Each structure stands twice: as structure tokens, then as C-alpha cells.
Structure 1
Amino acid sequence: MLIELVEFLSLKVRKRGITIDKRISDAYLLNLVLSKVVMAINGFLKFRRLSVILVGKGVTLKARSMITTGKGLVIDEGCFVDALAVKGIVFGRGVSLKKNVTIECTGSLTKLGEGLSVGNDVGIGSGSFLGCAGGVTIGSDTIIGNYVSFHSENHNFSDPEIPIRLQGVNNEGIHIGNNCWIGAKVTVLDGVVLEDGCVVAAGAVLKAGRYAANSIYAGVPAKRIKERS
């Protein structure tokens, strides 16, 4: 009975069905449902919106008025989200931030950052860091593994006579296409354009450049291994 209830609720909230493994106990599912109810209440208190938003304990939200959300947003416990930016943060439908995700949109109060735009049905893994000062866009149906980091801004350092911290910054932004899978501990640097359907192996470093669609990349720096077949 509980399995059917959880499957029904998932369909209503996330707009997509799931099939739960029958070996999962009712006690585990009941605890899961109760925790989601608490998160839904917390989400309403945080956002004051009627759309279903689940927010875990210990979540910090800054510049909350600059966050636009679709239905079914999940922000798990320990996340830090600062939306202060020119364009703020836009979350599509069914976006999930796992535990301890950090999103920072502005690196310095002297210059507002660009912000973050996330499509529908995107999952961002635990411990990931998204630095969005230069602007980050993530397409729909993309999976981002644990401890992935995005850095959409660089320090200028050309003048050896001036401290690097005083030379300002430059940025091009980061664009991730639809239906990509970015593995655990990948580093994505400013200027990356990852086209639709790409897979990036765990631990890879994507430096500035365009990465062709439907390809697999690995290494430091990342290189094209083969096309997805």
C-alpha cells in the first residue's frame, strides 16, 4: 500500500512516474514520506508559495526573492544557495539539489554576478559547488554527480607588478546542454560549452572550449574519447 502511495505522490509532484523496488520495507517508506512532509512544510515557510517545494534542515537561502522555482524543487539538508545576481537563479520543474550543495552567484559586492539557470528534471549531486558569477546555464534532463565544481570566473594576472587580487576578473560563462551526465568530482572551468548528450568521466577537468554533442570526454584536461553509440 505504501509503495503505491509513494509512486502516486511522485507522479503528482514530479510529473513523472517511478517504480519502487518491492524489497524496500514499509517502515523505511513511511519514514521517507514523513520526512518529505516536513520538507514540504519547511519549503512553504521558506518560499511562501503554494507550489510543492521540499527544503531540508540546515538549508541557507540568501536573496530568496531572486529565486524562481518550478514545481517539485527539492533542496536537501545542508545546502547553501545565494541568489544575489543580475539574473538571480531560475530552477525548472523537478530540480533536485542533494545534500550540502553550494551555489554562489556573486563573488564580490563590487560587481554583481550573472546568475544560474537550470532546466527541467536536473539532479545536482551532494557536495557540489556552483560558482555562477560569470553565468551558468544547465539544460534539462542533465545529471551532475557528487562533488562536481563549476567556476565561471577567472582572475586577471597579466601584470606581475600588481597583486593578482587587485587585477580584477574576467568571465565568459558556462553552458551545459540537455541530457548530459557529468561524473563525480569533475571540474568545469569558465568558457565551457558542453553540447547536448555528452558524458564526462569522473575526475575530468573541462577547460574553456566547445565540446561536441553526444560524445564521451575524460582526462585532465578532458579529451574526446569516442562518440556515444
Structure 2
Amino acid sequence: MLTEKIIRKLKGDPSYKFNDDYSDKEIFIVLIGRFWQLIRGFYKRVFFKQTNGLVFIGRSVSIKHAYRIKAGKNLILEDYVNINALSSDGINLGDNVTLARGCNLICTGVIAHKGIGISIGNNTGINAGAYIAGQGGVEIGNNVIIGPRVKIFSENHLFNDIDVNIKDQSVCRSKVTIASNCWIGGGVTILAGVNIGEGCVIAAGCVVTKTIEPYSVVAGIPGKVIKSRMPEDDKVINLKHAIAGL
């Protein structure tokens, strides 16, 4: 199919294939939608700091401080995406990044405290309604799946002084890192300072409050490791390496 060949070339993925269940009409409607997104992208990409390929932009997308955005190939911003890139490091998006309908990427909250920014790696998809707050810095790796309505925070309000309104006290910031090849389930909340290791699975609705070792499966409120994805032999080898490094 010609459409598959085009997408394979754009994505650089020779194994990409459409599901056989799609009718020609359904594929045509999808392509028409992508065409109009591409037209919008040609206009808005000129305001970006840097783009390395095509940009597809849906309806009612809001982009503030676009001059702080760097994008790789085939960026897709679906309808009602809201981006405010005002920050020290801006927003850096890798190749084949998708932000689904209604996603919010915010780098600066209170204008008195300029944020750090957000980085998202290659082939990472962020589902509808996700909220990523990059005031303290958020770094997401390659090939990450982020479910709908995930919330990531990297800044907290201080509240130690009871004689001063909380909103008038300062803030504390701590970077959030999600390594490559992770699956973050729908409705997950990730708090400031959390590092999620490579290959982790975070169950839907989980609240992650502390750093997670690679290849862990995490569930609950607060999130706890319920099992490891690593084979037993690999865990033993890693434990030996950890002991040897002490």
C-alpha cells in the first residue's frame, strides 16, 4: 500500500504496517485530517527555534513562546494541545513525537520564577489530556508510552511559614526523569524529584513519589514495586555488580 510506504519512509521504520481491518474510506478520512494538520504545520513551524522535518498541527492548538521549541522529524500536535515553552532550556522534542488531544506542556507557572523546560525523546507518544509541568525540568526518554491524563510535576510550593500566604512563599524544584522504554499508565501522577528507570511499567492511577529502579512494575497509592520484569538470572548478575561496586 502506498500510504504504508510513505509512513515507513517518514518514520524510518521499514516494519510499519496498517491493520488490515481499515477500509479505504477510513484511511482516506485519516489522510485528509493529516493533510490539514500538515498545512497548519507549515505555517506554525516557521516560529519554532528549530525543526528537522514535517510538523502536523491540529485544530485550536495554542503555542506560546514557540521560539523556545526545537522539534525533530514528524512532530504531531493533535487538536487542543496547549504549549507554553517560556523557560531557560525551552522544549526539545525528538523524532516522531506525538502529543494527543488536549495535552498541556507548561514550563513556567508563576511568572516570577522562570522554569527550566521539557525534553521528550524519539518515538515517544503522549496520550490525551496529559499535563507536564517543566518548571523544575522534565526529561522523558525514547520509545516511552504515556497514557491519558498523566500528570507530571517538577515544582512544589513552600508552606513552612504560617504567617505568610502560601502563594506568597517561594517554590522548590526538582527534576523528573523518565528513562527510555517505559509505559506510564492512564491517570498516573508523578511528583517532583522522581526518577523512573529504563523499562518500567507504572500501573494506571498510580501516584509515584520516589525513584523507581529499572524494569520495575509499580502500582498503588503511593506507588510500590510489585515485581521486576527482569529474569531471575539477570537480577542475580546485577546484584553481584552492585555489591562489587560498593
TM over 0.5: yes
For residues 220 and 126 of structure 2, the distance between their equivalents in structure 1, rounded to whole angstroms, comes to: 21
Map residues 1-229 of structure 1 onto 2, 5 A cutoff: 4-16=1-13, 17-48=15-46, 51-207=53-209, 209-229=210-230
- Checking the alignment, whether the CA contact within 8 Å between 2:52 and 2:71 is kept in structure 1 is no
For residues 133 and 29 of structure 1, the distance between their equivalents in structure 2, rounded to whole angstroms, comes to: 40
Residue 83 of structure 1: how far off its partner (Å)? 0.4
Match of 1:81, SS?
Answer: strand
| Corresponding letter in the other structure for 1:79 | V
Calculate percent identity across the aligned residue pairs. Answer: 35
1:24-69 per-residue CA deviation (whole Å, 9 max, x = no partner) reads 1101101111111111111110012672111111100110010000
| Corresponding letter in the other structure for 1:29 | I
**Coordinate RMSD, CA, aligned:** 1.1
For residues 28 and 160 of structure 1, the distance between their equivalents in structure 2, rounded to whole angstroms, comes to: 59
For residues 70 and 97 of structure 2, the distance between their equivalents in structure 1, rounded to whole angstroms, comes to: 12
TM-score (norm 2): 0.89
| Corresponding letter in the other structure for 2:4 | E
- Checking the alignment, whether the CA contact within 8 Å between 1:125 and 1:144 is kept in structure 2 is yes
Residue 14 of structure 1: how far off its partner (Å)? 1.7
Residue 85 of structure 1: how far off its partner (Å)? 0.4
Moved more, 42-51 or 88-97: 42-51
* Max Rg structure: 2
Match of 1:210, SS?
Answer: coil
- Checking the alignment, whether the CA contact within 8 Å between 1:44 and 1:50 is kept in structure 2 is no
Match of 1:202, SS?
Answer: coil
For residues 42 and 202 of structure 2, the distance between their equivalents in structure 1, rounded to whole angstroms, comes to: 36
For residues 164 and 113 of structure 2, the distance between their equivalents in structure 1, rounded to whole angstroms, comes to: 20
Runs (4+) of structure 1 moved beyond 3 Å?
none
Q: Which runs of 5+ in 1 are unaligned?
A: none
- Checking the alignment, whether the CA contact within 8 Å between 1:113 and 1:134 is kept in structure 2 is yes
For residues 5 and 182 of structure 1, the distance between their equivalents in structure 2, rounded to whole angstroms, comes to: 33
TM-score (norm 1): 0.96
Q: Which runs of 5+ in 2 are unaligned?
A: 231-246
Residue 23 of structure 1: how far off its partner (Å)? 2.0
